[in-house]
Structure 1
Amino acid sequence: MTYNRRFEGRVAIVTGASMGIGRATAMQLAEEGAIVVGCARRKPKLDELVDPIAERGGKFISVGLDVGDTDGFAGLIKDIATEYGRLDVLVNNAPSVIGGMVVDQSLDDWKANFGIGVDSVFVGVQAAMRVMIAQQSGAIVNISSVSSLRAGTASGGYGAAKAALNQFSQCAAMEAAPHNVRINVVAPGAVDTPGLNAATGKNPHVKKVITDAIPMQRAATPAEISAAICFLSSDEASFITGVILPVDGGKTPQLYVPSFDITNLDNQADNR
């Protein structure tokens, strides 16, 4: 894919940048001209991005950081803004997916979903807003999930955390809007990442069942999600704030109807 240079000279921070959606987003932002700071727990995976991005003319800075360390995360945002004199984009992508049936899930697991999915996002948004409001510009994109918009089995804790993220993001967007700071949410569906493989137990049959249930009959690629994130982060979305954008191949609006034999429709109608 060929990118333009929408982020030339801008500074971006991407959490959970070591793989999947975060990795694709960091690469696209850098290839479009941004100085990108990527943080994640797995620093060696982050380090793998430095040279490939440099070869494409981008700049990537690798920071080993668990955003569950909220003081460290807030400090990183402040330090980067101080070092470069600005912060233009923050993408809160670091995931925490702990599934479980309501009757079985422990309170600790419930809280863990909120710790990364909501608490760290609050800290990151707060720290970034302080910088961006002062400079009267900036974009924040928080990564949610279609699980925040539709119910599913064994996803009560995760879905509730992502729903809280949605509402928080919209409230923060209202506070930031008068200062030309935009806050939006991308809510992916199934994405072909290591996370999806783990969730399906690396079972191709289970994965196929999930993807066949998507109207577009496949999972998204990480690059398709990063394209939406980068659009909302760019000046092309300069009048968009407070939105929750599903990127899910049509899954969220889908009306589920059980399969039936269409050849018997006439007979069924006659027998009513």
Structure 2
Amino acid sequence: MTAKRFEGKVAIVTGGSMGIGRSTVLQLAAEGAHVVSCARRKPKLDELEEKVKALGGSFTGYGLDVGDTDAFAAMIKETAERHGRLDLLVNNAPSVIGGMVVDQTLEAWKSNFGIGVHSVFIGVQAALRIMQPQGSGSIVNVSSVSSLRAGLASGAYGAAKAALNQFSQCAAMEAAPYNVRVNVVAPGAVDTPGLNASVRKNEAVKKIMTDSIPMRRAATPEEVAKAICFLGSDDSSFITGVILPVDGGKTPQLYVPAFDITNLDNQAEDR
């Protein structure tokens, strides 16, 4: 039987039409929350609403791009006014435009920051204006392991997510006296349409990527959603300002080129 950690609570999830966002919406709804979600693809949210209703949950979808920060802030305010509260905001909507530094345009750089940082700032600001007077609430921002480790063609995206991490920790310090928590989930490779797009649907490249993860696979969207829901729930009531990697051990991994361990002698023991 699914725990009802969010019974009677109101949650907003951005980018809920697919991947991590969709799984988070379903998890929250299954646990009793009324979930509000926005995405650019409204028909996908309509499909998600039917899925939530089939599970006995409650859902409202908005066809909205969080890059339209005025509309995004208005949606958050309207949600709180309609339901009398706001308990959880999950800033998940992604923008990933990769490129080598020598090739990437300033417009692509700005796009990574526009969705990954600017819209998150507006969302957190709007949520805190509701949650701090309310005396409770939780915000979970979705970052990436690219914010913690360097990689090729991820300068703009990684820099934006690193800025998101620092901003989240500063917001956590400001919100803590009001019993409002701000945390970050930093996924590694996740089996979503976004991952398939990043490797151009090349299964061989995808296998190389996932084989490099200590757990030898990508995460499922549901696994990341569970981490988000943990940080968003009272199960983590004394946790704020953390950056939680959900990456199968990739972030702490020391890379060592593969070699045949059977060819080693006892030199280590002799030393």
- TM normalised by structure 1 equals 0.97
Counterpart in the other structure of 1:191:
190
Alpha-carbon distance in 1 for matches of 2:98, 2:267: 41
Alpha-carbon distance in 1 for matches of 2:40, 2:256: 42
The offset of 1:267, in angstroms, is 8.4
Counterpart in the other structure of 1:131:
130
Q: Give the aligned residue type for 2:211.
A: D
Q: Give the aligned residue type for 1:34.
A: A
Structure 1 residues 125-134 or 261-270, which shifts more?
261-270
Counterpart in the other structure of 1:81:
80
Q: Summarize the Cα distance change of 1:263–1:142 in structure 2 as closer, same or farther, 3 Å threshold.
A: same
The offset of 1:65, in angstroms, is 0.4
Residues 156-171 of structure 1 mapped to structure 2, 5 A cutoff:
156-171=155-170
Per-residue displacement from partner, 1:113-143 (whole Å, max 9, x unpaired)?
A: 0000000000000000000001000000000
Residues 204-223 of structure 1 mapped to structure 2, 5 A cutoff:
204-223=203-222
- Unmatched runs of 5 consecutive residues or more in structure 2: none
Counterpart in the other structure of 1:151:
150
Do residues 95 (structure 1) and 94 (structure 2) align? yes
Per-residue displacement from partner, 1:42-78 (whole Å, max 9, x unpaired)?
A: 0001110112211211001111000000000000000
Residues 1-272 of structure 1 mapped to structure 2, 5 A cutoff:
2-266=1-265
Q: Give the aligned residue type for 2:220.
A: T
**CA-atom RMSD in angstroms:** 1.4
Q: Moved runs in structure 1, 4+ residues, more than 6 A?
A: 267-270
- Matched residue SS, 1:48: helix
Alpha-carbon distance in 1 for matches of 2:227, 2:266: 46
Question: Is the Cα–Cα contact under 8 Å of residues 3 and 28 in structure 1 kept in the other structure?
Answer: no
Alpha-carbon distance in 2 for matches of 1:47, 1:17: 11
Alpha-carbon distance in 2 for matches of 1:139, 1:116: 20
Per-residue displacement from partner, 1:157-177 (whole Å, max 9, x unpaired)?
A: 000000000000000000000
Per-residue displacement from partner, 1:7-35 (whole Å, max 9, x unpaired)?
A: 01100000000000000000100110000
- Matched residue SS, 1:266: coil
- Unmatched runs of 5 consecutive residues or more in structure 1: none
